[in-house]
Amino acid sequence: MKSCLIVIDAQESFRHRPFYSPADVPAWLAAQNALIAGCIAADVPVLRVFHVDGPADASNPFAEASGLVRPIDGLAEFEACATFVKHRHSALVGSGLDVWLTCHGIGRLIVSGIRTEQCCETTTRHASDLGWTVDFALDATLTFDMVQPDGQPLSVAQIRARTATVLHGRFAHVCSAAEALARTRTVEAVPA
């Protein structure tokens, strides 16, 4: 089964949001960069997705005019097999990604990027519903603390645990970046 890695929204825009915290960035970058390098070494296509929305002026970090819709500092430089721009949470809505995956015979996706519970999780659910096999590389996703509707804090650890719980065995195989790479070697060796 042909695999590909999708790097979702790993863009500088997030450093300019009020909720941004650098606390988990080094660990995420280590896992994300190892996953990118491992996929490139295994000749697995690596795709880049950027998120663009909101007012199209330079004051909006998710507007192209801001200059921040570019790879986040610290992300390994790589030449993406294709780059997509999305305007919704799922990378499969209106971006052309679904067409690229189908045209290239991709059966398995490895999902990584920013934010764990938002665009990464939404893309995973959508991809699963459309028939793709998905590995969700949890340590290669990044998120930030949130506040629940009742005002209580929700930590990164709680968000990650919740996402892993709701995805695993239903929409994806939740694993580490290292395990996703190991699984790639296994599934790529099996004829489709």
* Whether residue 192 has pLDDT greater than 60: no
SS in 3 state form for 33-86?
HHHHHHHHHCCCCEEEEEECCCCCCCCCCCCHHHCCCCECCCCCCCCCCEEEEE
* Res 186: pLDDT: 83
Please state, rounded to an integer, the average pLDDT across all residues of the chain: 96
* Res 191: pLDDT: 62
Residue 187's pLDDT band (cuts 50, 70, 90): confident
Rounded Cα distance between 161 and 157, Å, is 6
Q: pLDDT tens, 75-125?
A: 999 999 999 999 999 999 999 999 999 999 999 999 999 999 999 999 999
* Whether residue 185 has pLDDT greater than 90: no
Look up the pTM and report it: 0.96
* Res 189: pLDDT: 65
* Res 162: pLDDT: 98
- Rounded to the nearest 10 degrees, what angle do helices 156-167 and 121-129 cross at? 0
User: Which of these, 96, 164, 170, 90, lies nearest to 128 by C-alpha position?
Assistant: 170
| 3-24 mean pLDDT | 98
Give buried/exposed letters for 126-149 (b at 16+ CB in 10 A, else e).
bbbeeebbbbbbbbbbbbbebeee
* Cβ–Cβ under 8 Å, residues 19 and 145: yes
Place of tokens 């986040």: 72
Q: pLDDT tens, 150-176?
A: 999 999 999 999 999 999 999 999 999
Q: pLDDT tens, 54-74?
A: 999 999 999 999 999 999 999
DSSP the chain: -EEEEEEES-BGGGGGSTT--STTHHHHHHHHHHHHHHHHHTT--EEEEEE--S-SSTTSTTSGGGT--SBPTTSPP---SEEEEESSSSTTSSSSHHHHHHHTTEEEEEEEEE-IIIIIHHHHHHHHHTT-EEEEEEEEEE---EE-TTS-EE-HHHHHHHHHHHHBTTTBEEE-HHHHHHHHHHHHHS--
More confident residue, 23 or 186: 23
* Res 64: pLDDT: 97
* Res 83: pLDDT: 98
Q: pLDDT tens, 26-52?
A: 999 999 999 999 999 999 999 999 999
Rounded Cα distance between 145 and 134, Å, is 25
